[in-house]
Structure 1
């Protein structure tokens, strides 16, 4: 093996639906030293149009067992994450799992033990750590400008009045808004504040389908940290969305509207490295107010550029250079624990302690 080949990560992508085609494949292809060699998909023509040098296979086992794959990326339905990741780890492959990590805690713990035993990289694709607005908010909080945070509120609201026939919107294990958008909001909150004292959640089905056949399309989750309240909210019947972030500290406030532009850019076929990649419009910059020297100062905080590609750059560095994964499997499992506690809280209509 040549020195250059030794510094290449050959990627096998399982799934070429929305996540695989819109997020995983373009971001992987943007990283020097990463190459997609195998794709498991029933959409062979689409795959080869995008990646003519890749080999399309019909069976995940064929991809996992290939000698031309170092890293397996699992971009399939949530219920298949654990079995496919386990199969890949047993075959000696590094693994990236689309969020959410697994459905249950036991599944995640088993995968972590396998990866540790075999000294393999196992990471969860929580790409929204690299949203423009979240990077800006995190920098603002860490600067101390807002003082200790007392209230943190994050929304991921959409207007999608019709229940579609996708697995995400059916009453299936691992489906629903809490596992989907909730996983993003929870991960961001855990990055900022760590594990909470307790969790309280209300969730439900608000759209026209009968609750027995549709998954949750609304949740309101509160995590308590002593006096601090972290409020995470998502709904599917919000025609005119309010602020994305509302954050108040002892000395300042941060109010932010609008969504990071990277998903929309990827859907348009744009790629990392293009002019203006990840840059928000000035109209979407956050309003920040803070007290200093007895004066109240209010102004706009210029958004940092979003950088989803940073996730796969760090995966490459973890595999080739032994650095830490961008999102560890244990961090992914912490998100699942909050989701499971939130579901317990809703079912029992009470706050549940985080232990």
Structure 2
């Protein structure tokens, strides 16, 4: 069994990482670092609790550490883990700059350790469905791809993701998922144009984005709003053979929040009323959503550590995601189209 420690005990740790780790056949959660010691002890009475991340890293004799702390400390904590010979999974975004990301990639390679990023949305059922449609050429040559993550949250909340600071806001939070999905399918674009804005009253960071990724013969739009009270479109894809439209979110997050186990046979199964539709010139067909499977991420992490299998998220991909996130912020601030070639030797925002 791989002995695992988790740094942080906030939403992502409690909702995603801990349930997935605890139901893994190959992992054992043995340590948590959190300031909420009593809450952790109540919910995990047999797990060691550490006051500081540094103490967990240096004292717990772990094979894997999962970092779910705020984005601005990802780099320093991951670096310390790698320096102590410990494999690392980092909650997305990997870090707050592409320069820091590349430094971690280089350090992990030097140390011969696994470094991975929790881009779990690659295992969303709707995204798996989209990839299947494209693999089967059911849409023909794709010319337009639109990916949304809209919600109705018109009021600013008191939490670190909505406070001013590097790596905060929904562009780095939700945008990192949408960017990762887009480049996982299409690769890097040639250029991008972006608007990343604080639109809510008293907002201190980005709560809206509309980002266009420009490819040859293809346009990709990534969009998120905090003012969408209507049914939310997730994907719209248009190709030479037809179109696919999908509403609603993957059910796994809500299922995990309700305490449904990732090993339950109904976990990741979407209700029929939320199926997307494939439109051609002469027909309209409901497309059954593939079963989502976040547990696959940690299965592949275990195989990578114990058997030398492939890292489920190549950290080099996460570096490219960060370059896109950074260039989009520059585009939004300057009002200019940014060429992705600028990112090849990009040294990050100063």
Taking the TM superposition and a 5 Å limit, the aligned residue runs for 1:1-355 are: 8-209=1-202, 214-290=204-280, 296-355=282-341
Describe the superposition over 1:293-317 as per-residue Cα deviations: whole angstroms up to 9, x where unpaired: xxx2321111111001111111001
Q: Separation in 1 of the partners of 2:136 and 2:123? A: 18
**4+ aligned runs moved over 4 Å, structure 1:** none
Q: Separation in 2 of the partners of 1:173 and 1:129? A: 25
Describe the superposition over 1:247-287 as per-residue Cα deviations: whole angstroms up to 9, x where unpaired: 00111111000101110011111111113110000000010
TM-score (normalizing by structure 2): 0.95
TM-score (normalizing by structure 1): 0.94
Which runs of no fewer than 5 residues in structure 1 stay unpaired? 1-7
Shift of 1:52: 2.3
Q: Separation in 1 of the partners of 2:232 and 2:32? A: 39
Which runs of no fewer than 5 residues in structure 2 stay unpaired? 342-350
Describe the superposition over 1:49-78 as per-residue Cα deviations: whole angstroms up to 9, x where unpaired: 332221000111111113531101000100
Q: Separation in 2 of the partners of 1:171 and 1:67? A: 33
Alpha carbons 2:31, 2:60 under 8 Å: kept: no
Residues 64-73 or 321-330, more deviating: 64-73
- Partner of 2:150, secondary structure, is coil
Describe the superposition over 1:228-251 as per-residue Cα deviations: whole angstroms up to 9, x where unpaired: 000000011111133210000111
Describe the superposition over 1:21-43 as per-residue Cα deviations: whole angstroms up to 9, x where unpaired: 11111111111020111100012
RMSD, aligned α-carbons: 1.1
- Between Structure 1 and Structure 2, how many residues are aligned? 341
